[in-house]
Amino acid sequence: MVNVPTIQLSDGSSIPQLGLGVWQVEPEITARVVSDGIAAGYRLIDTAEGYHNEEGVGEAIRSAGVPRSQLFITSKLRNGGHARDAALKSFDATMAALGLEQLDMFLIHWPVPSQDKYVEAWKVMVELQQQGRIKSIGVSNFNQDHLQRIIDETGVKPVVNQIELHPYFQQTDKRAFLKQNGIHIEAYSPLGSGSVLKDAAIAEIGRKHGKSAAQVIIRWHVQQGDIVIPKSTHADRMAANIDVFGFALDSTDLQTIAGLDKGEGGRTGANPATADFLF
């Protein structure tokens, strides 16, 4: 089994650098998928209220045969739950679905600036952390203006910002601000929703190291110091995705991958500045 390095967050907690994401994992197979992931060595499991599979994650946690203290479970607040009462109710529902007394990390899923309630949601997160119900609090899909506002209005900085990040969409403009504020990047869609797996340059690097395209990309994330949560429903791919600590990309490889960035043209998901969907 692979031992994954941990990253220390600004609040003193430690998070595994490589975890298993369960976005778009069907609820009826989630327990099996997460169980396979835990068996392969994953200790960070990333779900969300909007994924509708928290119950399956909870089932896998209970049947894993791994001490709860060794698992790091993350979920995210739904976009329609930013108002105080709704946020508290949504969090209670998350905890009931997961079957947990304390959550390792809870994130605001999207800022939804048109709704203008993300500061209110952040204040609830701070409160829940102070009550001991959540160890670490963070955000997802926040741009610098969203981050600056919640920091200015509460004095509390998120420990992570979970954003779309992959070789075609490297978001280098965010790094300086996040580092300055001690906010770690957590990369979702780390394989570009599959698009980067077909890249010829990535394939060439893979041949050089005797590794798959996915392993090359995940290793790239790891070497940047980011937290990364690839998703798979196949046990063999999960095992391959976590097996990236026995090799390293060299400076030529890193330079090649840096040249793959397409900027905004590489984005596969919604833009946080304009995303206004509620769930």
Q: 210: phi > 0 → left, psi -120 to 50 → alpha, else beta; which?
A: left
pLDDT value at position 257?
98
Distances in Å between the Cα of 47 and the Cα atoms of 11, 56, 78 are 21, 10, 11
Nearest to 220 by CA among 192, 258, 182, 194: 258
* 42 is an active site residue: no
The reported pLDDT for the residue numbered 3 is 87
DSSP 159: S
pLDDT of amino acid 234 = 96
Instruction: Return the number of other C-beta atoms located less than 10 Å from residue 63's C-beta.
Output: 12
Write the DSSP symbol of residue 263: G
| Catalytic position from the list 42, 51, 168, 188 | 51
The residue extents of the domains of the chain are: 14-259
* Confidence (pLDDT) at 253: 98
For the sheet with 184-188, list strands across it: 20-21, 44-46, 72-77, 103-108, 134-140, 160-164, 184-188, 227-228
CATH topology of domain 14-259: TIM Barrel (3.20.20)
- Mean pLDDT, consecutive 10-residue stretches, the chain (279 aa), reads 93 98 96 97 98 98 95 98 98 98 98 98 98 98 98 98 98 96 98 95 98 98 98 96 97 98 97 95
